Chains A and B, each alone.
Chain A
């Protein structure tokens, strides 16, 4: 079997990998590139645990074929911190106990970052609807929503 060669930018780094034509971006990230932060919760785009930002758009990596990403830009949970400096969302998730088991957390962080990048001061309702594509079974969402709002406020106070 021959595999397809893909070159793309992941979290700011140029990355190359081999995959089959029907390998999902999620499987390529996890099995070929070694970035296991994005999770498979359902494989059908219903849970958001595999959320990545692909060419600037929030996307479920399980719904994208890896060869489609050739020449593109991907941001995963491993890339949202600034070196050793946590993103405010990562900080507020920790301080606000917005994770219990933590498996949905990468997807939520990416989706929340996508939201705040576009809408820096969302209302609670806007946050809830923006994150409606991310399932969490542990928290009941309360502390997640509070952490996103706190990160938005913090960004605001930074000017």
Chain B
């Protein structure tokens, strides 16, 4: 008997749109589910990692001799234990990956790995790592884009010349590249405007903040194979990257996925796996390495800190005429910030005829940035949506009305070139506009802010296998780690395809040897792409079973049909054959029944979200309290509405934290001042109200069930929604995140002292 009443929305579907208990749920509420650090193998050694205390330094020498003799120590690795990929002529991305895993001649950020130790206990490994003597020649460092670009700034990677600038530069730089989106004539567009608003915004690096630190267990087998257990967003990708760093074929590495305790993009890359593997190879025993929270903050990629200038022109009746922007994104110690994606998404909700967006990828002495939910987009949306909000204030137009007036629709040209196929942006605006929250009157010190956002969503490669079992039920094997309920969605799509009860579908996440290749769980791609593979594999099984039934009835396959989990003769001259019956007869009709579908997903549908936030600002303390939050997001088709709502809500709350509290604080020496959850303040339950959600469904014509990815776009609007609400409440436009109480108080004080509140 259920305790909670279910509310389901399924237009003509039997299973899609319902809210069954997720298949992996029982293990997760009883403490039985095994996450990355929960694996223990017989004879297992424990590892510890030695990390640079300096933001930038040359490694003069490493002396492990004393450490090697300490109690319990079995092996130590340094950069010398890994192939030099630069010398081997590998591509830049692979070289950077390998050097980020373990430093070679230089350390480039506090936390950069220098050595790793395997010992009988973690305590012994940690003690030994502290006894490794590293001689550093400390170098000057840079921590912000301004410092990195200043004349005479120390260069992180000598030989770096900024790409895509004219004329070609003749000096080394920390600016790796420039990316541009251009449409129409920017000067004419700005000249045609009645009102122009230009602001410069800054945001700090923020961490994805997954509650589970990185962990890996590696067991090097005598045959030369290595078996790795780790939690990640994609065990095939982990295999590929680990093999690259170790210098072996991917086929020699088997990766078994553990349950993953949050990723949000931060676990799309490896950190510990090659270290554990090499230590296991050296010792002949399994090795487990687990990061502590300090290491997670210092040693793994946050999202970029940014400096973004946005200038938008509009007519007095709210037509947007032009957008000009310069974006500087911190890449961290190696190239590859998501500034390109930022330029492609920042104005996607709007029809602009004139655009000039220039983005720069800038090196700084901080950890290499990693993806964080719609990477690059939230910061740029913060800037654009804040400027649009200010335009609304200047011309006296409602923020939803202005967005409706300029909204991208099917056939609009996107900034990055193609015309939009069927999209649901306008529907999200209407959903907010028509919701009672939008009419609730506001009291003193309260304000309301609106913002929209866009994310492409990805397709990419997925492979799934469906087995029919003797009992007539099916096993669905996928290769996508389950971050947020995807097993349930796969089961629902399979159930709908077969027309059987979802309880008859057993989903399973295979390792790299038991299922075909799968790209990562990320990029809002899993329900779409792995769902397509599952659906296609189920269709193949259905087709096979119809052929088996035809053989059984000695008729042509055109005389049979599939109805509700059974095969029937069109003329009704035989009783239907159930899946169980067909399974029992499989030996006579051709053998066991199993099908695989492997595909590079097509028909990706993009996602839009519009959100409204109500806040109350305490004028004495500067504390911003979120009173109400409503998000409307186009999911295409919600397979399991509860987990779709969950993705919306999770993204929103991460965005609220990014807007109000979260930031990396560095000392002048380039070390992180707040590498703990005490001082790196993510939202807690008492900070927040319920997060109201509206699932908008404008089905994606490219997907068998109409699915659009939902995982990422939810984090794109909140930074601006909260900032716009604060502006509405206080009359102050805050352009520097996070809007912590001190910054809000400063703005309020400036305003009351006659400043412009900026």
- Residue on B nearest A95 in the bound complex, by CB: B4
Does B642 lie within 8 Å of A36, measured CB to CB?
A: no
Is there an interface contact between B3 and A88, defined as CB atoms closer than 8 Å?
yes
Any chain A CB within 8 A of the CB of B685? yes
> Is the CB–CB distance between A46 and B676 below 8 Å?
yes
Q: Are A128 and B686 in contact (CB under 8 A)?
A: yes
B690: interface (CB < 8 Å) = yes
Assess whether A53 is interfacial by the CB under 8 Å rule: no
Partner of B29, one of A86, A127, A141: A86
Interface-lining segment among B258-266, B423-431, B565-573, B612-620: B258-266
B59 at the interface (CB under 8 A from A): no
> In chain A, residues 118-138, which have Cβ atoms closer than 8 Å to a Cβ of chain B?
125, 127-129, 131-138
Q: Is the CB of A42 within 8 A of B677?
A: yes
Contacts A39-B261, A128-B686: A100 and B643 contacting too (C-beta < 8 A)? yes
Within 8 A of B (CB), among A83-128: 86, 88, 90-97, 99-106, 109, 125, 127-128
> With A39-B212, A44-B293 known to touch, is A90 a contact of B30 (CB < 8 Å)?
yes
Q: Is B322 an interface residue (CB 8 A)?
A: no
Are B212 and A135 neighbours in the complex by a CB distance under 8 Å?
A: no
Task: State the main secondary structure of chain A at its contact with B.
Answer: loop
B31 touching A38, Cβ below 8 Å: yes
Whether B691 pairs with A101 at a CB distance below 8 angstroms is: no
User: Which among B17-25, B128-136, B390-398 touches the partner chain?
Assistant: B17-25
Which of A41, A103, A140 has most B Cβ within 10 Å? A140
Cβ contact of B40, chosen from A31, A102, A105, cutoff 8 A:
A31
The answer to whether A142 and B210 touch across the interface, beta carbons within 8 angstroms, is: no
> CA–CA, A125 to B687, complex, Å?
10
Q: List chain B residues, Cβ under 8 A from A37.
A: 30-32
User: Chain B's nearest CB lies how many Å from the CB of A139?
Assistant: 6
Give B690's nearest chain A residue, CB to CB: A142
Partner of A94, one of B25, B212, B262, B682: B25
A150 at interface (Cβ–Cβ under 8 A)? Answer: yes
Query: Number of contacting residues on A, CB 8 A?
Result: 65
- The residues of B that contact A109 with a CB separation of less than 8 Å are 29
Residue in B closest to A38 when the chains form the complex, CB atoms = B31
Check if A47 sits within 8 Å of B650, measured CB to CB: no
A96–B20 Cα distance when bound, in Å, is 10
Residue in chain B with minimal CB distance to A49: B211
**CB <8 Å contact, A143 and B211:** no
Q: Is the CB of B686 within 8 A of A135?
A: no
| Given A131-B685, A132-B686, A141-B653, A104:B677 Cβ within 8 A | no
Asked if A95 contacts B684 (CB within 8 A), the reply is no
Tell me whether A78 and B30 are in contact (CB under 8 A): yes
Across-interface contacts of B688 in A (CB, < 8 A): 128, 140-142
Q: Which residue of A lies closest to B654 (CB)?
A: A137
B450 to chain A, nearest CB (A): 19
Q: Which residue of A lies closest to B677 (CB)?
A: A46
Q: Is A66 in the interface zone, CB < 8 Å from B?
A: no
Report yes or no: B31 in contact with A140, Cβ–Cβ below 8 A.
no
Per-position binary interface string of chain A over residues 17-53, scored 1 when its CB falls under 8 Å from any chain B CB and 0 otherwise: 0001010000000110001111111111011010000
Interface positions, chain B 638-686, Cβ under 8 Å from A, are 640, 642-643, 645-647, 649-650, 652-654, 676-678, 682-686
B485 touching A97 by the CB < 8 A rule?
yes
> Of A38, A101, A136, A150, which one neighbours B484 at CB under 8 angstroms?
A101
Bound CA span A7–B290, Å: 28
Give Cα distance in the complex from A139 to B650, angstroms: 5
A49 to B292, CA, bound (A): 13
- CB of A151 within 8 Å of the partner chain: yes
CB of B42, distance to nearest CB on chain A (Å):
13
Contact, CB under 8 Å: A77 / B31: yes
B449 within 8 A of A: no
Query: Is the pair B646, A143 in contact by a Cβ cutoff of 8 Å?
Result: yes
29 A-B pairs in the complex with CB atoms less than 8 angstroms apart? A20-B123, A36-B35, A39-B212, A41-B293, A47-B293, A78-B32, A86-B29, A94-B21, A94-B25, A97-B645, A100-B646, A101-B210, A101-B212, A101-B263, A101-B484, A102-B33, A103-B262, A105-B28, A105-B29, A109-B29, A128-B685, A129-B686, A132-B685, A132-B686, A134-B685, A136-B211, A140-B683, A142-B690, A144-B685
Given A97-B19, A97-B642, output 8 extra A-B contacts at Cβ < 8 Å: A20-B123, A41-B213, A46-B678, A77-B29, A86-B26, A94-B21, A103-B35, A143-B649
Q: Top 9 closest A-B pairs, CB basis?
A: A37-B31, A103-B261, A140-B653, A97-B642, A102-B28, A46-B677, A140-B649, A77-B31, A100-B484
